[in-house]
Amino acid sequence: MSEYNDFPDFLKNTVTLPVYKKWLVRKANAHFKRDKNRGNLIATASSYRHAIHEAVVRSKGFDEYTGRSLRWDLISQYDNAESSRNGRGYKRVFYNLPTVDHVDDGLGLPSFKICSWQVNDAKHDQTFDEFLDICRAVIALHESNAI
């Protein structure tokens, strides 16, 4: 994977290159497989790795929606068995885990943003504009003291 010689500086004291590559390949393969099953016949697995790596570099280590710092030290640390035992409390530890969010519908060339798991869960399949609308509605209701 020599194309990733530009290992981001912000990761160098947090994770090793092999850990980053493993995470990158796993994320790219998962998104590639899902999008291919949804009908994307344009993109390649390599283009997904490249697009995700570009998004990581562009993020500079921060959530691209909130600007909050991400916990890169948590990549590849999630334990499903531990999560089953400890539920929400365990998942809360991973709220700032970096994850990959589709910018579009996944049917063209891959385009991603890096964000926290918490933000990605909240945004889910919404477009960015739809996500902003729901965020504004929550804030407006909260600020009106109607709840």
Tens digits of per-residue pLDDT, 19-60? 999 999 999 999 999 999 999 888 899 999 999 999 999 999
Neighbours of 39 (CB within 10 A): 10
Q: What ranges make up the beta strands (E) of the chain?
A: 98-102, 112-116
As a whole number, the mean pLDDT across the chain is 91
Distance CA(77)–CA(104), nearest Å, equals 28
**Helical ranges in 1-147 per DSSP H:** 17-37, 45-59, 80-93, 117-123, 128-143
In a domain, 128, yes or no: no
Cβ atoms of 110 and 44 within 8 Å: the answer is: no
Domain that holds residue 104: 2-118
Does 137 map to a domain? no
The answer to whether residue 123 sits within a structural domain is no
Does residue 92 form part of some domain?
yes
State yes or no: pLDDT of 88 exceeds 90.
no
Q: Is 10 contained in some domain? A: yes
Domain count, the chain: 1
Residue % of the chain over a pLDDT of 70: 95
* One-letter identity of residue 37: N
139 domain residue, yes or no: no
